């Protein structure tokens, strides 16, 4: 089984990488991009019996910095 974890900075936390991407897009002529938030996707290959609760615990302990990041888990 696979799990996909999407990690993003929480609203209100400055995102300098996203701002750099937004600026670069404008410099390349792509108009109309008013904001960019950059995140990460972590794919996990899971053994039988690993639950979504287990993956959420992984996120809380290692995969996401829950002080400044939020995450979602997609099992499948």
Q: State pLDDT tens for residues 35-64.
A: 999 999 999 999 999 999 999 999 999 999
Q: What is the pLDDT of residues 11-44, one digit of tens each?
A: 999 999 999 999 999 999 999 999 999 999 999 9
Residue 5 to residue 63: CA distance in whole angstroms: 8
Output the pTM of the full model: 0.87
For domain 2-75, the CATH class is: alpha beta
For residues 69 and 9, is the Cβ–Cβ distance under 8 A? yes
For residues 28 and 63, is the Cβ–Cβ distance under 8 A? no
Give the pLDDT band (50/70/90) at residue 76. confident
């Amino acid at each position: 089984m696979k799990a996909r974890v999407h990690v993003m900075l929480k609203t209100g936390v400055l995102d300098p990488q996203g701002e750099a991407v937004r600026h670069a897009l404008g410099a390349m002529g792509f108009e109309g991009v008013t904001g960019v938030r950059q995140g990460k996707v972590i794919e996990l290959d899971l053994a039988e019996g690993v639950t979504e609760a287990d993956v959420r615990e992984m996120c809380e302990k290692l995969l996401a910095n829950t002080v400044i990041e939020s995450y979602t888990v997609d099992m499948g």
